[in-house]
Chain A
Amino acid sequence: DQQVKQNSPSLSVQEGRISILNCDYTNSMFDYFLWYKKYPAEGPTFLISISSIKDKNEDGRFTVFLNKSAKHLSLHIVPSQPGDSAVYFCAASAGGYGQNFVFGPGTRLSVLP
């Protein structure tokens, strides 16, 4: 069974608006979470991370929110730009960074001009 789920395979957003990508997990031992961005024919590129001791981490236009009780995290991109169009993967690990990661299946974001 998938321990990390991204239930929306795709999302379309207008340029300038907010993009919200969601991720749910089932393993309560996960304590470190990452978001990756992937362009075609490339490997996923690290975007932003969050430790379970926090509920929010912000880096420029990207903010990740973590709701431990709901086992849910989300990535907010504000404002969305056409260059943000890519596939986004969330990943989780137990025991902090350095342990093996479990990836979700990805969500394709299309930002429309």
Chain B
Amino acid sequence: GAVVSQHPSRVICKSGTSVKIECRSLDFQATTMFWYRQFPKKSLMLMATSNEGSKATYEQGVEKDKFLINHASLTLSTLTVTSAHPEDSSFYICSTKGGGGGDTQYFGPGTRLTVL
């Protein structure tokens, strides 16, 4: 299966700063990547679908100016949390769609963001 990495795995930042999270598909050309955020009841909320070479599609209620997504290449998508606040503290995880049009998704290991 595909290998997806995320960097950093953990980040602590001060309120008001911006944080960039990278999602890389190491051995697979990912035209589509998904960004999720985990909530306290452990479910993952789909934030946006990132398409290589075009604008990301954001889910309802997700502020696109706050969560900037760039999918500049087939192996890299980035999520930038701008002007982070403590309520943005969460576990952010990306995934890529598997090949062949199936339901398989390959998840990255996630990034735990803590905003002080």
Query: In the complex, which residues 3-20 of chain A have their Cβ closer than 8 Å to any Cβ of chain B?
Result: 5, 9-10
B interface, size bucket: 20 to 34
State whether the Cβ of B80 lies closer than 8 Å to any Cβ in chain A: no
State whether the Cβ of A34 lies closer than 8 Å to any Cβ in chain B: yes
Q: How far is the CA of A91 from the CA of B44 in the complex (A)?
A: 12
Query: In the complex, which residues 79-111 of chain B have their Cβ closer than 8 Å to any Cβ of chain A?
Result: 91, 93, 95, 98, 102-107, 109-111
State whether the Cβ of A101 lies closer than 8 Å to any Cβ in chain B: yes
State whether the Cβ of A67 lies closer than 8 Å to any Cβ in chain B: no
State whether the Cβ of A53 lies closer than 8 Å to any Cβ in chain B: no
Q: Is there an interface contact between A46 and B41, defined as CB atoms closer than 8 Å?
A: yes
List, in ascending order, chain A residues with CB within 8 A of B1's CB.
2, 5, 105
State whether the Cβ of B46 lies closer than 8 Å to any Cβ in chain A: yes
State whether the Cβ of B54 lies closer than 8 Å to any Cβ in chain A: no
Q: Is there an interface contact between B46 and A41, defined as CB atoms closer than 8 Å?
A: yes
Tell me the interface secondary structure of chain A in the complex: strand
List, in ascending order, chain A residues with CB within 8 A of B45's CB.
43
CB distance from B86 to the nearest CB of A (A): 17
Q: Is there an interface contact between B103 and A100, defined as CB atoms closer than 8 Å?
A: no
Partner of B36, one of A10, A43, A100: A43
User: Which of A42, A49, A102, A105 neighbours the largest number of chain B CB atoms within 10 Å of its CB?
Assistant: A105
Partner of B103, one of A34, A46, A87: A87
List, in ascending order, chain A residues with CB within 8 A of B103's CB.
9-10, 87, 106, 108
Residue of B nearest to A41 (CB): B46
Q: Is there an interface contact between B91 and A36, defined as CB atoms closer than 8 Å?
A: no
User: Which of A36, A46, A108 neighbours the largest number of chain B CB atoms within 10 Å of its CB?
Assistant: A46
State whether the Cβ of B112 lies closer than 8 Å to any Cβ in chain A: yes
Which residues of B line the A interface, CB within 8 A?
1, 3, 9-10, 36, 41-46, 91, 93, 95, 98, 102-107, 109-112
